[in-house]
Amino acid sequence: MRTPIRAVTPESSTAEIAGWVHEIRDLGGLVFLLIRDRTGIIQVTIPKKKASPLVLEAVREVSRESVVRVTGTVKAIEKAPGGRELVPESIEIISQSASPMPLDVVEKVPAELDTRLDSRFLDARRPRVAAVFQIRSTVIRAVSEFLHARGFINITTPKVVAAATEGGTELFPIAYFDREAFLNQSPQLYKQMLMAAGFEKVFEIGPIFRAEEHNTTKHLNEATSIDVEVSFADHLEVMALLEELVIHCYSTVAESCSDQLAQMEISGFEVPKAPFPRLPYAKAIEIAAAKSGEKIAYGDDIGTVAEKAIGEEMGSHYFIVDWPTLIKPYYAMPSEADPKVSNAFDLMHPRMELASGSQRIHQHNLLVHQIRSKGLSAESFEFYLTPFRYGMPPHSGWGLGAERLVMTMLGLQNIREAVLFPRDRHRLVP
């Protein structure tokens, strides 16, 4: 029976391990093989004079990153990783690795991101890279547990759709038999329809597709959205939920991923504190003008430069609230006090936007009016609009980018580092 490498302790007498040959060090009379599995690294020590001919032959033949199985006796030794080493009785080469490799797993020379992504399977053998995806998995689990515990149900909505969510140009057209179809840019319309179905609290963690032309460090063409919709709740309630969820994700990672954080050399991992400041849009563009010199006219979007300047000023997570109705999607509810402002918000990390949300319009007439005023045709939204005529509760929700959450949490420079196989303007393989 194979033992995970971490479970081999100085107290173990014998062990059988299996994993990849991380390093081979030939010191003349002694050869060290470092063997790695996903739990850790162990030193296998081969004294040339005492080792069996079969063991010596395997050591001569084996190349780095080959998969091997080793059985032997465990000895306590202070200098080796984990305070123990394995002296082999047998070494079986299960799968020999070709060399040279397209990417150096031990990373004496740091590789460019593109090279890493081309050979992601090798890149992900590096404990520091694997740690990102173990943490990402923990974040997704934390989200799911948090929402289930609050009575949400997990939904799955179609990714092949007939109409754009927001009518934008960011759509990938696809061939769907003899009809035109698109990859969905957001589950927005479907989660709203499920409010009409009486589900009240839904969430989805799934892919969104955006045909953004630009190549940036924070945009993907296929991203993962954590989407939430809640009936009988206003925007303030779902903002509080979002704030609590983000903090919960950080706390869960702090509690259960200390090894991975150490692997990534992240010290002093900080859990953000509630409440996140609420910054009105009008104040945000003032800060942007004062700090970056970028003048944003009221009603214009906040660009990357302005976003950075405001983030520096705020210093931690914050919300931008009181958005002009004009720049928010048609489904955002205009404020009763001043309809030029909508009950919409963005959750911001100092580096970038993490989530957008709002109270939604639940009145059929108003929704049709807003769709038309954005220059869209209400007819192409018939399937979405019909549910609003048969009993639609008031509701609110948001969409949170999973990659951006992980990227900002771990201080990754490029969003592509938070995705196993990123899709961008130039990358469709692997």
Q: Which residues are at the interface with Mg ion (CB under 5 A)?
A: 356
C-beta of residue 10 within 8 angstroms of C-beta of residue 74: yes
Nearest CA to 94 out of 122, 119, 71 is that of 71
Region from 148-156, 284-292, 349-357, 382-390 binding ligand ATP, contact rule CB under 6 A: 349-357
Q: How far is the CB of 356 from Mg ion (least distance, A)?
A: 3
Tokens representing 404 are 């951006």
Instruction: Tell me which H or E stretch contains 57.
Output: helix 53-61
Does 100 sit behind a cis peptide bond, omega within 30 degrees of 0 on the bond before it?
Answer: yes
Cα 313 to the center of its chain, rounded Å: 26
Shortest distance in whole angstroms from residue 401 CB to Mg ion: 9
204 binds ligand ATP (CB under 6 A): no
| Complex with ligand ATP: residue 6 or 210, whichever CB lies closer | 210
Least separation in angstroms between residue 64's CB and Mg ion is 45
Sign, CA dihedral 158-161-165-170, equals: positive
Rounded least distance, CB 205 to ligand ATP, Å: 12
Rounded-to-integer distance, Cα 64 and Cα 133, Å:
24
Indicate the residue whose CB is closest to ligand ATP. Answer: 401
> Which residues, numbered 118-147, are part of the site for ligand ATP (CB under 6 A)?
none
**To the nearest 10°, the Cα dihedral for 91, 97, 100, 101?**
-120
| Residues 309, 130: Cα–Cα separation, whole Å | 33
- Closer to Mg ion at the Cβ: 45 or 356? 356
Question: Reduced to 3 DSSP states, what percent helix, strand and coil does the chain have, rounded to the nearest 5?
Answer: 35, 30, 35
* Under rule CB under 6 A, residue 187 binds ligand ATP: no
By beta-carbon proximity to Mg ion, the closer residue of 61 and 301 is: 301
Shortest Cβ 210–ligand ATP spacing (Å): 4
Is 206 among the residues that bind ligand ATP (CB under 6 A)?
no
Q: Which stretch binds ligand ATP (CB under 6 A): 55-63, 109-117, 218-226, 242-250?
A: 218-226
Q: What residue 354 binds from ligand ATP, Mg ion, none (CB within 5 to 8 A, per partner kind)?
A: ligand ATP
CB 357 to Mg ion: min, Å = 9
User: Segment contacting ligand ATP (CB under 6 A): 51-59, 280-288, 354-362, 374-382?
Assistant: 354-362
The Cα–Cα gap between 326 and 340 comes to: 7
Binding mask 20-49 for ligand ATP (x = CB under 6 A): ------------------------------
Least CB distance from residue 164 to ligand ATP, whole Å? 12
Q: Does 238 bind ligand ATP (CB under 6 A)?
A: no
Q: Find the binder of ligand ATP among 64, 191, 219, 360 (CB under 6 A).
A: 219
Q: Choose from Mg ion, ligand ATP, none: what does 367 bind? Cβ within 5-8 Å by kind.
A: none
| Residues 207, 219 contacting (CB under 8 angstroms) | no
The nearest distance, CB 404 to Mg ion, in angstroms, is: 11
Comparison of 33 and 409: residue with beta carbon closer to ligand ATP: 409
Query: In the stretch 381-410, what mask flags binding to ligand ATP with x, by CB under 6 A?
Result: ------------------x-x-xx------
**Separation CA 371–CA 350 (nearest Å):** 32
Following DSSP, what letter does each residue of 191-245 receive, concatenated? HHHHHHTT--EEEEEEEEE-------SS--SEEEEEEEEEET--HHHHHHHHHHH
As a whole number of Å, the CA-based R_g of the chain is: 27
Is position 311 an interface residue for ligand ATP (rule: CB under 6 A)? no
* Interface with ligand ATP: number of residues (CB under 6 A): 15
Which residue, 67 or 240, has its beta carbon nearer to ligand ATP? Answer: 240
Q: Contact, 25 vs 32, CB < 8 A?
A: yes
The crossing angle, in degrees rounded to 10, of helices 127-149 and 235-256 is: 140
Nearby residues of 76 by Cβ (< 8 Å), 6 or more positions away: 10, 11, 83, 84
Minimum distance from CB of 351 to ligand ATP (Å)?
11
Adjacent-strand bridge partners of 19: 68
Q: Is 228 in the site for ligand ATP (CB under 6 A)?
A: no
CB 266, CB 250: distance < 8 Å: no
Which residue in 85, 123, 353, 424 binds ligand ATP (CB under 6 A)? 353
Contacts with ligand ATP by CB under 6 A lie at 210, 212, 219-220, 223, 225, 353-356, 399, 401, 403-404, 415
